[in-house]
Amino acid sequence: MSRSSFASHKSVVYLAVLVAIVMNVRSGLADPGARDLNSVFLVAKSENKNQVHYGVHVDRECNVVGTNPLYGYWRMLEKKGEIEPMLSREVRAYGIDPVQRIEKAGNVTTIHTRLNAIPDRLLRVTVTRTQTGCSADATMPIAGTDARLRLIYVRIGWMFSVDYILLRGSHPVDGHTVEEKI
């Protein structure tokens, strides 16, 4: 390899490293050991196949990263599963309350917050360090029980109104499906 070709390859490598650093800083993950638990629960809607997924920023020790570790993003299933950020105009419908209270007890961290679309329901996301890595579960009151939240389905009506919101989860004791329309 000639010196000039090495220099151009070196520039490409530096550029790639710079882009990676910038992307990590933009996402709040400046720690190279940081990672995300990408899909704790999701919102699907009747209008199309695209979904909003909610994840948690964690480090390699399963500690949450930042003061707002819970985040939402689009999984564009109508575009081959591409991932896109939530737009500012979508935050009212799909966003998370910017107040995320974090409690840590041993290997368990709990994030207490609310979804903007259903502010009367407390959402808790529990991050646990296990022998195989990090795991996260979301819980929310569904049909009178504190259930493990899996899916929120939004039935879109006329002129983008909401006909109903269906909360679907599982009972914490026996795992049977729990649903509630609101």
pLDDT recorded at residue 156: 94
Express each pLDDT in 44-90 by its tens digit.
999 999 999 999 999 999 999 999 999 999 999 999 999 999 999 99
Query: Do residue 139 and residue 74 come from a single domain?
Result: yes
Query: Do residue 12 and residue 44 come from a single domain?
Result: no
pLDDT at 119 over 60: yes
Query: Do residue 93 and residue 152 come from a single domain?
Result: yes
Instruction: Tell me how many domains the chain contains.
Output: 2
Rounded Cα distance between 52 and 168, Å, is: 15
Give the dihedral of Cα atoms 139, 143, 144, 150; nearest 10 deg. Answer: -10
Query: Do residue 51 and residue 21 come from a single domain?
Result: no
User: What's the pTM?
Assistant: 0.79
**DSSP H helical ranges for 49-123:** 91-94
- Could you write out the DSSP letters of every residue in 4-58? HHHHHHHHHHHHHHHHHHHHHHHTT--STT-EEEEEEEEEEETTEEEEEEEEEEE
Query: Do residue 140 and residue 165 come from a single domain?
Result: yes
Query: Do residue 26 and residue 75 come from a single domain?
Result: no
Query: Do residue 120 and residue 145 come from a single domain?
Result: yes
pLDDT recorded at residue 108: 94
Query: Do residue 26 and residue 37 come from a single domain?
Result: no
pLDDT recorded at residue 5: 42
Res. 34 pLDDT band, cuts 50 70 90: low
Express each pLDDT in 130-170 by its tens digit.
888 899 999 999 999 999 999 999 999 998 899 999 999 99
Structural domain span for residue 42:
33-181
